[in-house]
Amino acid sequence: MMTKNELNSNFPAINFEYLKNYMPDPADIIAGNGLIRKGASTLLAGPTGVGKSVLALQAGICCATGYPFLGIPISKPVKVLVIEAENDPATLKRDILSIANAMNVDENLLSQNLSIRHLWDTVDFEQRIRMFIEMEKPDLVIIDPYQAYVENDINNSATFSAFSIAISKIINDFRVALLLVAHFPKPKEVQKVGREAVYSVAGSAALCNWVRTSISLYPTKDSDQLYQLVFSKNAERAGLKDDDGKLIREIMIRHSGEVENPFWTRIYD
């Protein structure tokens, strides 16, 4: 049983005086104004088969090299660990080389800072993630897709609670940032947009309440290459403003449209 001193050390009391004097560590911010930051979780969600994993890898490559992510500033190059459940090495090679070439990133820096580990099942998931983090010492962990690692019914809040408790402890124990990649359900079921876009993701709504920031990818009717990227939860943390200083909650991005050369670019007005 935990002693009072241990309890107080692990779960310190937070009062008004503490909050008044509290200063967030600027070094915790990885992307934007805290869109991706250490000690917090970010959700990237979108339909299946449109290049969502490429977008997640592009975010990881940008964070690993300090290259802006679709116009969102990256504070500095950081160590990135990708936990991958779906894409084989041939697909990863195609996608990563395509993104790296399109952005002309520093390949030596990318080699040093980006690491990918495959996990094909949920066996000892928490223990394996901890071991990977201990070995790789990342600043950012990307899990693609999160649904692959939630046992039983992903729509059950109790099931997600078990997953989130384990992941929250990992985030705080190792002081890392987390980017969860998630699928939307069938297209006809995806209806919510704007600030409620976060709730379009497949699985328990508890996920949407748990993450600190979220990014949702939506196709448009204009083109199968043109997409809307919505900062659907805490949009101000993306740090994007228009010429009038107003908060930008969504941007337009374009997929390259090339199966063997996939990458994303931002469309500016």
Domain ranges across the chain? 25-267
Question: Which residue shows structure tokens 């497949």?
Answer: 202
**Closest alpha carbon to 128 in 143, 145, 140:** 143
The stretch 203-218 carries a mean pLDDT of: 82
Which residues, including other chains, have CB under 8 Å from residue 238's CB and lie 6 or more apart? 32, 33, 35, 72, 213, 231, 248
User: Where does residue 105 fall: left (phi above 0), alpha (psi -120 to 50 degrees), or beta otherwise?
Assistant: beta
pLDDT of residue 24: 86
Under the banding of pLDDT at 50, 70 and 90, the label for residue 245 is: very high
More confident residue, 177 or 203: 177
Question: Which residue shows structure tokens 């223990």?
Answer: 127
Most confident of 7-16, 34-43, 201-210: 34-43
Determine the 3-state secondary structure of 2 from DSSP.
Answer: coil
The stretch 23-43 carries a mean pLDDT of: 95
Under the banding of pLDDT at 50, 70 and 90, the label for residue 187 is: low
Topology at the third CATH level for domain 25-267: Rossmann fold (3.40.50)
Q: What are phi and psi of 154, to 5 degrees?
A: -70, -15
**Closest alpha carbon to 152 in 162, 138, 139, 137:** 162
pLDDT exceeds cutoff 50 at 69? yes
Peptide bond into 145 cis (omega under 30): yes
**Closest alpha carbon to 251 in 235, 234, 266, 262:** 266
Q: What is the pTM of this model?
A: 0.90
pLDDT of residue 7: 85
Tokens of 148: 């692959």
Rg (CA), the chain: 18
Q: Note the pLDDT tens digit of each residue in 84-142.
A: 998 999 999 999 999 999 999 999 999 999 999 999 888 888 999 999 999 999 999 99
pLDDT of residue 201: 52
pLDDT of residue 93: 97
Strand partners, 42: 179, 213
Tokens of 100: 């790296």
CB 255 within 8 A of CB 225: yes
Say how far apart CA 138 and CA 151 lie, in whole Å. 25
